[in-house]
Amino acid sequence: MEAPPPYSLCNPNKKSTIINRSYALLHSVAITSLIFYRLSSFFHSTPSLPLLLAFTSELILSVLWLLSQAFLWRPFTLQTFPERLLQDKNDDELPAIDVFICTADPEKEPPLEVTNTVLSAMAMDYPAEKLSVYVSDDGGCGLTLYAMKEAWEFGRYWVPFCTRFGIKTRCPKLYFSRYDDEFLGQGYEAEKEKIKLKYKLMEKKVQKAESNGKMLAEFNTKNHPAHVEVMQDESHNANDTNQVKMPRLVYVSREKNPSYHHHFKAGALNVLLRVSNMISNSPYILVLDCDMRCNDPTSAKQAMCFHLDPKINSNLAFVQFPQKFHNLSKMDIYDGQLRSTFLVKWPGMDGLQGPMLSGSGFYMKRKALYRDIVQEDTDFTQLKQYLGPSNELVKSLKSAKYNTDVTSRLLEETRFLASCKYEEGTQRGKQVGFLYMSLLEDYFTGFNLHCEGWKSIFYNPPSPAFLGTATTKLNDTLLQGSRWNCGALQVTFSKFCPLIYGLKSRMSLLQRMCYVYLSLPPFYFFPIWCLATIPQLCLLHGIPLYPKVSNSWFMVFSYIFIMSQLKHLEEVLLTGDPIRTWWNEQRIWMMKAIISYTIGLLNAVLKLLGLKEANFIPTNKAADDEQITFYQKGLFNFQASTVVLTPLITLV
């Protein structure tokens, strides 16, 4: 009997593989020759301090280059066939999905933007009764709750409208800003105008509440009680075929208290994990940032092509989609698209155990977050030691229940699960859920999953699955980079250092090299600072650091520099970007190496010594017309904080 066609295909990129491996071989020979030249010169004369610093810089760059080649060794591209999935599975057989959306500060993350993300998730092309959307409001702000209630009311019209006419852009703000409208059937235009009026009304209500300022004045991001509110159609009748089915919307604001560490985004996600266990308990979870709207409504079905594939689903932890952005300029001077990460490195990891977790836009298997702790034969008391004192929570993990009715007793239990004290004495954040210890909860959690033998998949569909808001300010770009680098180094300086911890895991050598590289970028700061100062000073004082042009060894140094630039240019052109992208990436990388890597390293060292507490500052997603004008014109705006500019100005 012929096997049924697969839901997905994995295609090795043979051309890129040949180019990458040939380049790696030739470049390795050149670097080995450079090291031989340096060492042999040391035997003929005592090396000076500038020469030793230059050689140390070259060694660091060589090691980091070698580690980075793991990303290029086996690149893959993937393809999905949702139509085949739908031939085998009807709506009743598709698994349920819980959508987690996190927001923390209504001033930096405007509630109206969050409502658009929520509505785009509620309107996904997936059975409505199989979707539950959870919003974590870490600020505990009444304005955000009010906006969610307005979103729910508008969603009662928006979701059926999108389903009836097969709307492709399901974020209302982006949909109503389009000009390339098309005829989608009789009654479409009239219905669209009605929906648009309702959206404008919702927009005005939220803006009015925001301008009033009362709800904003009351919010305290560091101290507030737990609050859980469920929005669903109470009159829903399963036998009523005329009843419009709506996804459930759940607002969650966990308790905050200065006496307890809240563990930033990882803590918020773990609260959503517990609360959703009690209400929907869906086997799969989609995690989104509050500005990362669902652009392609079929992304859930695309992800299920991997998760439901019997050949790979047993050890598949998550499917990661790339982070793409709707507000990028043609110049993209700040490398907001993160081209190298999502178009070069992650496809390369697809040929290994899969990409690292990337914060947003991933479909995670709930079981993977509980590891192997929850088994049928696991003792109930032992489970409570791992997961906390809630009997109801432990029971929910051993069943596949879906609560159609959320009682007051159930709500009370969810508030208990969202309290500060709940995680005390448990393995939450240590062995269960999203892991703590690092500001980069995604990197640390993904690393541990891969160490345990789980795999992941990176899927970059032709149409972007999600569209977010890229940073358009130099200050935000560099501070965001310093936070990422600090988080990576927190893992590097711990017992979970990928260089050591990965040795005892079930992780392949190439995969381990990728994680080691991702944990070490801050160390670029040393060679960049040295090579940006020492050769220039030596030139002024007549101290030779490099062979003369007439010397044959000069060709080795020239080859390494020219070929590394040509390889970068080849990657840029291969991913469909113009030559100016190569120049822009070179500029912003230099700035990040000098500022983000330096600040990230200093912060990580201070935290390690206990001289500074970890701090997570959300990126400002509120529109700034002046900054956007500079960004669109391709002009750097150096109106940044003193901390950000000090390293750069010092070097200049």
The residues annotated as belonging to the active site are: 138, 442
CB-side neighbour CA atoms (13 Å) of 273: 26
**∠578-579-582 over CA atoms, to 5°?**
110
Q: Is 398 annotated as a binding residue?
A: no
Entry field: residues in the chain: 652
Instruction: Give the pairing type, strands 466-468 and 293-294.
Output: antiparallel
Specify whether the CB–CB gap between 107 and 224 falls below 8 A. no
278/106 Cα distance (integer angstroms): 27
Residue 383's identity, in one-letter code, is L
Specify whether the CB–CB gap between 440 and 491 falls below 8 A. yes
Measuring CA to CA, how many Å separate 190 from each of 187, 195, 316? 6, 9, 45
**Chain position carrying tokens 């793409």:** 324
DSSP letter for each residue of 260-280: S---HHHHHHHHHHHHHHHHT
DSSP letter for each residue of 186-250: TTHHHHHHHHHHHHHHHHHHHHHHHHH-HHHHH--TTSB--EEEEE--TT--TT-TTSPP--EEE
CB < 8 Å & 24+ apart, contacts of 175-180: none
DSSP conformational letter for 638: -
339/575 Cα distance (integer angstroms): 8
Rg (CA), the chain: 26
Torsion-angle region of residue 403: left (phi > 0), alpha (psi -120 to 50) or beta? Answer: beta
Q: Is 289 annotated as a binding residue?
A: yes
DSSP conformational letter for 331: S
Q: Is 138 annotated as a binding residue?
A: yes
Structure tokens belonging to residue 187: 């009654």
Q: Is 192 annotated as a binding residue?
A: no
Annotated binding residues for UDP-alpha-D-glucose: 108-109, 138
Annotated binding residues for Mn(2+): 265, 289
